[in-house]
Amino acid sequence: MNKKEILEKFSADPQRYYNVNLFEDQGFERRSCNTCNRFFWTLDSERVKCPDHSDDTYSFIGDPPTSKRFDYTQSWKEVESFFVKNNHTSINRYPVVCRWRDDLYFTIASIVDFQRVMGSKVVFEFPANPLVVPQTCLRFKDLENVGVTGRHFSSFCMIGQHSIPNENGYWKDECVNLDFNLLTQQFGIAKKEITFVEDVWEGGGSFGSSLEYFVRGLELGNAVFTEFQGDLSNYKTLDQRIIDMGAGLERFAWITMGTPTAYDCCFGPITQKLIQNAGIDSDSSVLIPYFTEIAKNLELYEDLSQVRKNAIKTTGLSDEQINHIITPLEGVYLIIDHIRTLIFAISDGALPSNVGGGYNLRIMLRRIVSTMNRLKLKFDLDEIIDIQIDYLKNTYPELENTREDVKEIISIETGRYDSSKQRMQKIVSKLDKEPRVEDLITLYESDGITPEYLKEMNVISEIPSTFYAKLSDLHQSKKQKDQVNLPLEGVPDTELLFYGEDPREFDAKVLKSFDSFVVLDKTAFYARGGGQEPDHGKIGDNDIIDITKHGNIVVHEIKGEIPKEGKTVSCIVDGKRRDGITKNHTSTHIINTSARSVLGSWVWQHSAFKEEDHARLDITHHSALTDDEVVKIEQAANSIIEKSIPVKIENFDRGTAEQKYGFRIYQGGVVPVKSVRIVSIGDLDIEACGGTHVTNTSDVKEIKIIKTKRIQDGVVRIEFVSGDSAKEFVKKKQQDSESKEKEEKLKKEEKEKRVERRQLAKERIPIIAKSLSDCKQGISTIENITIELSVSDKVNFCYSTSNDYDDIFHIGLGEVLCKADPKLVYCGLFEQGEKIRVIVYVGDEISKEKSAGEIVKSISQILGGAGGGSHKFAQGGGVDKSKKEDAIKNVKSMINE
Binding positions for Zn ion, rule: CB under 5 A? 33, 35-36, 38, 50, 52-53, 689, 691
- Give the shortest CB-691-to-Zn ion separation in angstroms: 4
- Give the shortest CB-736-to-Zn ion separation in angstroms: 32
- Sign for the CA dihedral angle at 413, 419, 420, 425 comes to positive
Nearer to Zn ion, 52 or 880 (CB): 52
Burial zone of 749 (CB within 10 Å; 0-12 exposed, 13-18 middle, 19+ buried): exposed
Nearer to Zn ion, 331 or 691 (CB): 691
Distance CA 716, CA 713 (A): 8
Nearer to Zn ion, 607 or 786 (CB): 607
Cβ proximity of 332 and 267 under 8 Å: no
Distance CA 317, CA 324 (A): 11
Distance CA 98, CA 52 (A): 33
Nearer to Zn ion, 601 or 680 (CB): 680
What are the distances in angstroms from CA 300 to CA 221, 289, 297, 471? 22, 17, 5, 24
In a 3-state reduction of DSSP, which class is residue 226? strand
Nearer to Zn ion, 591 or 824 (CB): 591
Distance CA 374, CA 364 (A): 15
> DSSP characters for 339-392?
HHHHHHHHHTT----SSTTHHHHHHHHHHHHHHHHHTT----HHHHHHHHHHHH
Nearest to 663 by CA among 379, 348, 347: 348
Nearer to Zn ion, 689 or 816 (CB): 689
- Give the shortest CB-189-to-Zn ion separation in angstroms: 21
- Give the shortest CB-307-to-Zn ion separation in angstroms: 19
- Give the shortest CB-593-to-Zn ion separation in angstroms: 12
Nearer to Zn ion, 448 or 668 (CB): 668
- Sign for the CA dihedral angle at 877, 883, 885, 887 comes to negative
- Give the shortest CB-652-to-Zn ion separation in angstroms: 16
- Give the shortest CB-532-to-Zn ion separation in angstroms: 7
- Give the shortest CB-422-to-Zn ion separation in angstroms: 43
Nearer to Zn ion, 36 or 746 (CB): 36
Nearer to Zn ion, 50 or 164 (CB): 50
Cβ proximity of 836 and 879 under 8 Å: yes
Cβ proximity of 497 and 506 under 8 Å: yes
- Give the shortest CB-547-to-Zn ion separation in angstroms: 17
Residues in the chain: 897
Nearer to Zn ion, 386 or 502 (CB): 502
- Give the shortest CB-196-to-Zn ion separation in angstroms: 14
- Give the shortest CB-608-to-Zn ion separation in angstroms: 7
Nearer to Zn ion, 58 or 153 (CB): 58
Cβ proximity of 697 and 643 under 8 Å: yes
- Number of other residues whose CB lies within 10 A of the CB of residue 185: 10
Distance CA 702, CA 642 (A): 9
Nearest to 418 by CA among 479, 372, 458, 459: 372
Nearer to Zn ion, 95 or 690 (CB): 690
Nearer to Zn ion, 139 or 578 (CB): 578
Burial 296-320 (b: 16+ CB within 10 A, else e): bbbeeeeebeebbebbbeebebeee
Q: Which run of H or E residues covers position 314?
A: helix 304-315
Nearer to Zn ion, 414 or 548 (CB): 548
What are the distances in angstroms from CA 548 to CA 122, 276, 534? 24, 62, 8
Cβ proximity of 181 and 169 under 8 Å: no
- Give the shortest CB-54-to-Zn ion separation in angstroms: 8
Nearer to Zn ion, 10 or 444 (CB): 10
Distance CA 61, CA 262 (A): 10
Nearer to Zn ion, 50 or 795 (CB): 50
Distance CA 358, CA 365 (A): 11
In sequence order, the 6+-apart residues with CB closer than 8 A to the CB of 523 are 494, 495, 496, 497, 498, 506, 508, 554, 556, 571
- Give the shortest CB-244-to-Zn ion separation in angstroms: 24
Nearer to Zn ion, 32 or 420 (CB): 32
What are the distances in angstroms from CA 494 to CA 526, 527, 548? 12, 11, 12
- Give the shortest CB-596-to-Zn ion separation in angstroms: 15
- Give the shortest CB-678-to-Zn ion separation in angstroms: 11
- Give the shortest CB-641-to-Zn ion separation in angstroms: 17
In a 3-state reduction of DSSP, which class is residue 230? strand
- Give the shortest CB-638-to-Zn ion separation in angstroms: 19
Nearer to Zn ion, 216 or 241 (CB): 216
In sequence order, the 6+-apart residues with CB closer than 8 A to the CB of 619 are 592, 595, 599, 603, 604, 605, 606, 715, 716, 718
- Give the shortest CB-36-to-Zn ion separation in angstroms: 3
Helices 381-392 and 270-277 pack at an angle, to 10 degrees, of 160
Distance CA 56, CA 58 (A): 6
SS3 of 860-888: the string is: HHHCCCEEEECCCEEEEEECCHHHHHHHH
Distance CA 777, CA 35 (A): 131
